[in-house]
Structure 1
Amino acid sequence: MNVIVLLAGLLFLLMTVIGGQKGVRSFIALFFNFGVIIVTLFFMNAPTINPILLTFIACVLISCINLFYINKVNRTTKTAFIATIITTVILVAFITAITNKAMIQGFGEEETEELGMFSFYIGLDFIKIAVSVIIMSTIGAITDAAIAIASPMREMHYHHPNIERLELFRFGISIGRDILGTSTNTLFFAFFGSYLALLIWFKDLSYSVGEIVNSKVFSSEIITICCAAIGVTLVIPITAWITSYFLVGKQRDRKN
């Protein structure tokens, strides 16, 4: 416990010194997001509530916290929020179809030994739970990519107010291409970092490449990474189009 408090204090100090007021809000936002996740998990057991709908509402709240609370309400955060919601809606339909086909819901063979003493008859649809897990895993990357594109586009429009909409859109796409590789690699290495022990366990048990790829634990994580990467890729043109439309369109409306 003392180590956790020490690390949290060090994180707060660094975020305050480097980020100023925005750093303090970012630190407080961590607790708000944690509270949203806890409340979501609490209501997830309710048989009358759809877990996918509940997760989508949680993603909307998390997006509001990460965008509006940390960066305040402005044109940048509004366009990033709209792009995030549109991308999330598209991903919900896509992830639901993929999860039904991939059959990654439930627990894998590697997890049954630790869970053998518990009952699996908990009255929940594990397909919907799997969809909820993947959606919740992607919302952070999507929000981050949306604000990373909308913010420099706003700066470009501020310094070049006469820029054409198509040119501004291309500028946003160019920024998206720069962050696309780093974002997808971040998701990829986050998986291998968190599941390094599992990979070592596969090696010690002499799993073949085919057995590793077809194991439910490995497949579910790879599908999560792919869905998150697809979400990051989709949010780039969506954010670029919405931001260019709002910035250039609003300016032309005022002139007319």
Structure 2
Amino acid sequence: MNFIKKIGILIIFLIFPIFIFASSNDKYEKGKITEILRTISANKDEVENGISKKIKVIVEIKTGDYKNKKVLIMHPVFKDKAYNVPIKRNEDVVLDIHNQDGMITYNIIDIDKRGLMISILLIFIFLVIVIGKGKGVKALMGIAISIFFIFYGMLPLILKGYSPLWLGVIFSFLIALFTIYFVAGDSKKGLVAFLGTIGGTIIAGVLSQIYIYAMKLTGYTDLESIYASNLFKNVNVVELISAGIIIGSLGAVMDTAISIASSLNEIREHNNQLTEKQILKSGMKIGKDVIGTMVNTLILAYIGSSMFTILMFMVQKNDYPLIRILNFEFISTEFLRSIAGSIGILIAVPLTAYFGSKIFTKKIKKK
């Protein structure tokens, strides 16, 4: 298989999950706004419902049974911007096609973002290949395999009723194994990184599970998850939190372990007379430098994803004192995710240093 074919396969693996969730059916189709005709004032009833005006547009349906059909849509503009879907000519949109006893209605419910998602993904792939070259291609292969394991292995098995916690452990093992193999190859460095990764990840998962039960978390962190509870009757939702922590922290833990293992391997190659104690000491010293940035990265990632929620509480600080904020389920869950994941990184440092001191000095002991 030549280089171009490998890249093609990688792109398919990385892009395909987008289409799994974005694939159209009889209800939702892709459309293109071909004309924006005029703006019409809202009537009294519409104003009472929060609509300020309507835009008369023609949309060409691009997929499904109504493909190539052009339809006239009265697109509402709400007073509250949160409900609006901004549109412009030649823009791709998502259509909700509703058939009620033969009466078909068409509504624009969102902008079709798939093309933009794919474009930034291709930019990412291009930069990884250009900057990382061979190592970059291997890293992409690791990502592709991780996506495959999660979407076609772990998640379907969770839906069938298997334990999310144990599946998280098993699939983190497989993901780490293949990813580290692509990055470090079949070497002592890879073995050291793998052992450190698995140790740190499992401890993060076990610790999170202990605190999940102690904190009496349910796994239902928002209204959407509560409404969808009937869809997950076979799923242990509580264990999903631990599984999410294991998979979510795996990348950072793996990065920490590989950084330490690679550095120790380099030190060992330059001086093969180092003792276990010296290598262990070097590993811990390297780990201290890695810890600062990696833990910060993980914490900032969780804070960044919750920025809107944090601002909302800041605006309503008189209504929500700290004792109430910290005891919201989703806040408690995110707090546990970030701290347990960070502990996984911390534990990976001494474990990787320890395994490195044993494995990298094994040859000397035999002499």
Residue 22, structure 1, aligned to residue 135, structure 2: yes
C-alpha distance after superposition, 1:122-180 (max 9, x if no partner): 23222222221222222111111111101000100100111121111100000000111
Q: Alignment partner for residue 158 of structure 1, among 266, 269, 279?
A: 269
Aligned-pair CA distance for 1:45: 1.4
Residue 230, structure 1, aligned to residue 312, structure 2: no
Aligned-pair CA distance for 1:119: 4.2
Residue 149, structure 1, aligned to residue 263, structure 2: no
* Residue number in structure 2 paired with 1:190: 301
1:195-210 paired onto structure 2 within 5 Å: 195-206=306-317, 207-210=320-323
Return closer, same or farther for 1:17/1:115 CA change in 2, 3 Å cut-off: closer
Moved more, 173-182 or 196-205: 196-205
* Residue number in structure 1 paired with 2:165: 52
Q: Larger helix proportion, structure 1 or 2? A: 1
Counterparts of 1:91 and 1:149, CA distance in 2: 19
* Residue number in structure 1 paired with 2:238: 127
Counterparts of 1:194 and 1:56, CA distance in 2: 24
How many residue pairs get aligned? The number is 250
- Aligned partner of residue 360 in structure 2, secondary structure: helix
Aligned-pair Cα RMSD in Å: 1.7
1:1-256 paired onto structure 2 within 5 Å: 1-38=114-151, 39-47=153-161, 49-108=162-221, 111-112=222-223, 114-115=224-225, 117-120=227-230, 122-206=233-317, 207-253=320-366, 255=367
Moved more, 225-234 or 64-73: 64-73
Aligned-pair CA distance for 1:29: 2.2
Identity %: 24
Counterparts of 1:151 and 1:214, CA distance in 2: 42
Q: Which runs of 5+ in 2 are unaligned?
A: 1-113
Moved more, 130-139 or 233-242: 130-139
Residue pair 1:91, 1:231 contacting (<8 A) in 2 also: yes
Counterparts of 1:168 and 1:232, CA distance in 2: 19
Counterparts of 2:229 and 2:194, CA distance in 1: 40
Return closer, same or farther for 1:222/1:115 CA change in 2, 3 Å cut-off: closer
C-alpha distance after superposition, 1:31-85 (max 9, x if no partner): 22111111211110112x2221111111011101220023321110111112222
Q: TM-score, normalised by structure 2?
A: 0.65
- Structure number with the bigger relative contact order (C-alpha 8 A, sep ≥ 6) is 1
Return closer, same or farther for 1:248/1:200 CA change in 2, 3 Å cut-off: same
Counterparts of 2:332 and 2:304, CA distance in 1: 16
Counterparts of 1:248 and 1:119, CA distance in 2: 53
Residue pair 1:76, 1:150 contacting (<8 A) in 2 also: yes
Aligned-pair CA distance for 1:201: 2.3
Aligned-pair CA distance for 1:95: 2.1
Aligned-pair CA distance for 1:217: 0.8
Return closer, same or farther for 1:45/1:77 CA change in 2, 3 Å cut-off: same
Residue pair 2:208, 2:336 contacting (<8 A) in 1 also: no
Residue pair 2:199, 2:347 contacting (<8 A) in 1 also: no
Counterparts of 1:35 and 1:153, CA distance in 2: 31
**Corresponding letter in the other structure for 1:184:** V
Q: Report the structure number with the largest CA radius of gyration.
A: 2
Counterparts of 1:142 and 1:4, CA distance in 2: 27
Counterparts of 1:87 and 1:118, CA distance in 2: 32
Counterparts of 2:133 and 2:228, CA distance in 1: 47
C-alpha distance after superposition, 1:88-133 (max 9, x if no partner): 333333222111101223223xx22x45654446232222222212
Aligned-pair CA distance for 1:205: 3.6
Q: TM-score, normalised by structure 1?
A: 0.91
Counterparts of 2:287 and 2:126, CA distance in 1: 31
Counterparts of 2:330 and 2:277, CA distance in 1: 44
Q: Which runs of 5+ in 1 are unaligned?
A: none
Q: Larger strand proportion, structure 1 or 2? A: 2
